Amino acid sequence: MFRKSLKSISIMFRYAPGLTVLKLFQIGISAVLAPLSIFFTQRIIDTVSGIIINGDNWNGIIPWVALLLFAMFFSSVGGGFLNGILYISIRRKLNIGMTPDVVEKFKRLDYACFEDKDVQDTLQRMSTDPQDKVFQLFLTILGVLECMIGVIGAALIFSQAGWWFVVGFAALLVPMIWLDFKAANMMNIMFNEQSTDERKMHYLGGLLSNKSSLFELKIFRATDYIAKKWRGIAHTVMDTRVKTTLHAQKYFLISTILFKCWSFFVVLSLVTTVVSGNITIGIFIALIASTGAVLDNADTLSHTVQNMRQRYLLMEHYYKFLSLPEINAHGEPLTDAPLHIVFENVVFTYPKTDIKILNGVSFEVKQGERVALVGENGAGKSTIIKLLCRLYKPDNGRILINDIDIQTVDAAALRRVFSVVFQDFCKYTLTLRENIAFGDLTKLNDDNALHDALKMGLADGITELDTPLGKLEETGVDISGGQWQRVAMARACLPDSAFVILDEPTASLDPVAESNMYHSFAEVLKSRGCIMISHRLASARMADKIVVLSEGIVTETGGHEDLMSASGLYARMYESQSAWYVKGVAEA
């Protein structure tokens, strides 16, 4: 643990080398001066005694007073002013240097990491001030080193009264550290085991504070149920913490009793030693005055080692985070030839599951084609989109773009192939301009391009470009779910991508608005391809090709008329939906 914790120093040298050296120097001097102050005090008292009893020269006291004053001055300035300046400066360096590196790592992470519950704790901790965790471990390591130097120095000073002080001190320190470490380890294990429950509590608490979820919960009168569920988990968590804390405090109590017994024994022994004339009055007064401070330092060392253990466990998340798999950002470029996408016997199972979502899917898409993916829920439609965007890697088979495996295509080139509107698109509580420009940030200040994208997404009448959306700001504007969906569509239309992928993009729109949107898309995307998923099969009629999926395989491929003539799954699904509309009209 100590060896791995020392890595935090190397991280500090990477981001703030000069300040780290200065901090190490400040801690080293402070640690050495603490026991030396005891020695200086002893020398001053012995010198004064010599002046009073033997008539020694007063000049002998000057250097010891000067050294003690220097130690006191450095302790005051170094421990206060200089320490505060270094603390702020180092944190600033880490924020400037380390935070962007962590963000870059997040950008390079394989998407599967975000859906792996085993790494959720790591990702959550790394999303909240990881630089502070490194810095706190660094400070804790310095605290351990400072205490160790202070304890060793104090032991040498006490050795003047007899080596048995040193042996006894060591014999006390080892069990104290072991007892405190065992107690702290129990607490750390408990906190790690409760991380899942803490995430559940955070989620349930969010449901009661989030506007959209709270609105629905109030409608269904389910707020009391969620609150009760939260209280149930909280009750379990707190019960476990109380029981574990009480158990751990037994070890702390034994450690404290040892500490107090040793304090009494030291004072009694020093009195006996000075009376017998084995030590000078200066040594006696200095050691008596510093006994409490020395033992407090030993106790601080024990507790600092505990803190190091806890912070070390947090740092383990940092090292695990750095080792998480990354996407391949560099690869083969794509030529200017017309794009040809081929799914070749693709098999895929989501990580840590056993059900094959895709079981040998094969189809192709040519540039400029409008392709609809249809099928029942769970047939694998959205999974195909995720594989196309290289969020996951197929278990078997290949996805080719112009005969190049998609896994080896350059990431920048792939972004020029696809832009996507997912079913669970994000609603950014920022300006409308930013919401659209996230599709291509190079056009953030290109008003003409942004307005064109808004027209393509049928969102040009929502509000002005620089109006904040949502209620994060006082001037923010609330818009409906359908309007948010149009903003997301406009965002996907902004890049000059070869294909626009629409994964259930019209779920919040009524059938008439959906029909208008698809007809609009048919006009504006004449020069671009489109791959869309929609459960309303009337939209699929506008596609050049329909790919029908069932139980992880492609069962039918063709145009609307061809598939209706085949009287297969597509025809049955289409007729079933049509019957609902016909029935609704007849009943009306």
* pLDDT confidence of residue 363: 93
Q: Which of 426, 422, 424, 402 is nearest to 414 (CA)?
A: 402
Where are the extended beta strands (E) located within 407-525?
418-421, 499-503
> Over 221-240, what HEC string results?
CCHHHHHHHHHHHHHHHHHH
Decide: 163 and 313 in contact? Cβ < 8 Å: no
Spatial strand order in the sheet of 529-533: 418-421, 499-503, 529-533, 370-375, 545-550, 553-558
DSSP 304-326: HHHHHHHHHHHHHHHHHHHHS-B
pLDDT in tens, the chain (588 residues): 677 777 778 888 888 888 889 888 888 888 888 888 878 887 888 788 777 777 767 777 888 888 888 888 877 776 667 778 888 888 888 888 888 888 788 877 877 777 777 777 777 777 677 778 788 888 888 888 888 887 777 777 777 766 766 677 677 777 777 777 777 778 777 877 787 788 788 888 888 877 767 777 777 778 888 889 889 998 988 898 888 888 888 877 887 787 777 777 777 776 777 777 777 777 777 677 666 666 666 667 767 777 777 677 777 778 888 888 877 767 788 877 888 999 999 999 988 788 889 999 999 998 888 899 998 888 888 899 889 988 888 999 999 999 899 988 887 788 888 888 877 788 888 888 998 998 888 888 998 999 888 887 777 778 888 888 887 777 788 888 778 888 888 888 888 888 888 887 665 566 666 666 666 666 656 667 888 887 777 778 888 899 999 988 999 999 989 999 999 999 998 888 777 655 444 444
Decide: 262 and 296 in contact? Cβ < 8 Å: no
Q: Could you tell me the domains of the chain?
A: 2-323 (1.20.1560.10), 338-417+501-515+528-588 (3.40.50.300), 421-496 (no CATH)
* pLDDT confidence of residue 14: 87
Phi, psi of 352, rounded to the nearest 5 degrees: 65, 25
Phi, psi of 535, rounded to the nearest 5 degrees: -80, -15
* pLDDT confidence of residue 585: 42
Q: Which of 283, 263, 262 is nearest to 273 (CA)?
A: 283
Measure the CA–CA gap between 238 and 64, rounded to whole angstroms. Answer: 55
Q: Which of 343, 510, 484, 371 is nearest to 421 (CA)?
A: 484
Q: Which of 62, 32, 41, 60 is nearest to 285 (CA)?
A: 41
Measure the CA–CA gap between 449 and 445, rounded to whole angstroms. Answer: 9
| pTM for the model | 0.62
